[in-house]
Homo-oligomer: A and B are copies of this chain.
Amino acid sequence: MSWFTRFKRVLVGKPIHAKHAHHERLPKVFGLPVFASDALSSVAYASEEILLVLVLASSAALHFLFPVSLWLGVLMIIVAFSYYQTIHAYPKGGGTYLVSTENLGSMAGRTAGAALLIDYVLTVAVSVSSGAAAIASYYAPARPYMVFIAVGAIALITIANLRGAKESGVLFAVPTYTFVALVLGLITTALIGGLSHGHLKPADVTPPPEGFHAVNAFLLLRAFAASCTALTGTEAIADGVQAFRPPEAKNASQTLVMMVVLLLMMFIGVSYVAMHEGIVPIPTEAANYRTVLAQIGQRFFPDWLFLTLQIATAAILFLAANTAFADFPRLCSFVAKDGYLPRQLTSLGDRLVFQNGILLLAGTAIVLVIVYAADTHSLVPLYAMGVFVSFTLSQAGMTAKWYREIARPFRNWKLYVSGFGALVTLIVTGILLLTKFEEGAWLIVVALAVMLGIFALIKRHYLYLAKELSVTPADRLAEVKTTALLLVPRMHRGILQAIAYARSLSTDVRAVHVTLDPDGTGQIKEDWNRFGADMPLVILASPYRSLIEPLIEYIDEALREDPEAVITVIVPQAVPKRWYHGILHNNIAVTLKLALASRKNVVVTNVRYFLK
């Protein structure tokens, strides 16, 4: 086992056979937590994002929290209804990339794909940042370390995914159901407690730094846009229909309904309580910093239950980040299969490819977390844009599908459901772009454009290659003559197999020995006469103590002598028993390959011998 393999094993564990790398089919009770952690976890920050906008106006504006939440509830139902249809239309999995490409063409598919890839990065960044906030909300001394906690969470999730940890349903179920139960319990407790007081409590409002704005339509749109992050993750179930037990479509769509009902109850409940209690967001810098959900928890829960709530919140948020790690490389492989990303990404079953995707996602998310100082509120304006672009394209794709496939489409309600969904999500995309443009949505537009540009360049290269390399009727298979050069550093047992191997390759085979000491070649000549068989030994002197230079000169000469022949340079390579002995056994083949990189008709190859 090479040292590289050993190093990898320590870091990422033993290779898992491809057959075990796939989900087993999930019952609904596990399907919900596995696919819904992303959507459900947004309860941890969505209400707060609305309040952060409203608080800019006046404390009276805080009353709009509940109505805005209701609008979002309606949007949620529309989107869910539309995805319900997608699940039944694509029982093999209706990923956005697939649906868009199939029904609206490659350009739409690529746009949806790029938007989703961006969004996976943001899912990771927002979720771990919000998870860090949940921790700091209970344990104040952790506050200066939020970036550290967020980056640490990404690192842990990355390592778990690199190791190929099996995603067990239980791992997802415990925190997800705990979170749901605690939030619903919290809402119930608050409603009873809140009603008993019968009036709004004055909250310890920290006045916003920039002064107050008037409540107007634009402010309400901004508040609405801020809440749209709650919808991210809704598409997850439609992507993964095949992970459910049969009948897949039925089970998946029932899970979708369950998810939306839970999400609505929690989100609207939290918003209602926050409004009723007059809770406003506390800035991160403040001494009594707490998220809105934590403020409610602290007010109505005993300390131990409050602690449990914060732990469950952090846990479900980290799980939400984890789902992006499964989706990102998979989406990359779909895009790569169509030639818009490097072709090697298609073989997702190869760990190295899978791992590269994971590292790319982790690296980008870490950069975002550090740049935005793990501040959920700063990251959210970037979020949701990508999701709604892909929502719109997915629904539009379904609309096009119905229009084409149904005999009299305008008489069918399916067309209207998808069409309405597409229209609404398109409008929301516009609202998001408008209201969040300066806060960061422009960055997503730029990133989208850059990614589409890269996709196009990659595709162009592959198309060019296909043309350039296409076999024409004029092409003939030539005969090739091989000259084998066997490098002999000195005579030893390990070289015997290399000699035999070299002889098996070609009839024109020569041994080459580079000497730094022209007076001391007697030994090698003598040894060679005993074992070299009929192979001639060429001795190259190296007055300036280089092993490479004389070899290259000799190879160049041989290439000039016979420009048609292919020269195979055979380099015996010791494989030491202990990896750290590797530094005592230089592999000259690597250097030689680099030095000969521009020569055609040269093949450099290692024949290994194993040390005991």
Contact = CB atoms under 8 A, between A and B. Distances in A.
Interface of A: 1-2, 4-5, 17-19, 21-22, 333, 342-344, 346-350, 352, 458, 461-462, 465-466, 468-472, 475, 477-482, 491-494, 496-497, 499-501, 503-506, 516, 527, 530-531, 533, 542-549, 566, 568, 574-575, 581, 583-584, 586, 588, 591, 594, 597-598, 600, 603-608, 610-612
Contact of A591 (B352, B481, B503, B591): B352
Copies, count: 2
Nearest to A532: B477
Nearest to A591: B352
Interface centre among A343, A472, A479, A504 (most CB of B within 10 A): A504
A543 B349 CA distance: 9
A462 B545 contact: no
A413 to B, nearest CB: 36
Given A350-B549, A497-B566, 10 more contacts: A344-B588, A347-B542, A352-B548, A461-B584, A471-B496, A471-B530, A471-B531, A480-B500, A505-B505, A603-B608
A500 B478 contact: yes
Contact of A504 (B506, B530, B588): B506
Contacts of A343: 584, 586
6 contacts: A1-B598, A344-B588, A465-B492, A480-B501, A505-B505, A600-B610
A338 B380 CA distance: 64
Contact of A605 (B333, B458, B603): B603
B533 A477 contact: yes
Given A4-B594, A500-B480, A18 B492 contact: no
A18 B333 contact: no
A64 to B, nearest CB: 50
Given A21-B544, A342-B586, A501-B480, A1 B597 contact: yes
A219 B603 CA distance: 68
A545 to B, nearest CB: 4
A598 B608 CA distance: 10
Given A458-B584, A477-B496, A516-B346, A468 B611 contact: yes
Given A480-B497, A516-B347, A610-B600, A333 B1 contact: no
B549 A349 contact: yes
Given A477-B500, A504-B481, A594-B5, A349 B545 contact: yes
A461 B527 CA distance: 22
B350 A547 contact: yes
A492 B469 contact: yes
The 9 closest A-B pairs by CB, nearest first: A349-B546, A344-B586, A18-B544, A469-B492, A349-B545, A605-B605, A480-B500, A2-B597, A349-B544
Contacts of A350: 545-549, 591
Contacts of A5: 594, 597-598
Nearest to A612: B468
A202 to B, nearest CB: 52
Nearest to A566: B501
Nearest to A15: B595
Contact of A606 (B479, B530, B603, B608): B603
B480 A504 contact: yes
Nearest to A570: B603
Nearest to A514: B347
Contacts of A544: 18-19, 21-22, 349
B500 A547 contact: no
Given A346-B545, A594-B5, A603-B501, A531 B611 contact: no
Contacts of A500: 477-480
A594 B516 contact: no
Contacts of A505: 482, 505-506
Contact of A492 (B471, B481, B548, B588): B471
Nearest to A471: B493
A215 B188 CA distance: 85
Contacts of A461: 581, 584
A494 B469 contact: yes
A348 B545 contact: yes
A486 to B, nearest CB: 13
Contact of A469 (B477, B493, B516): B493
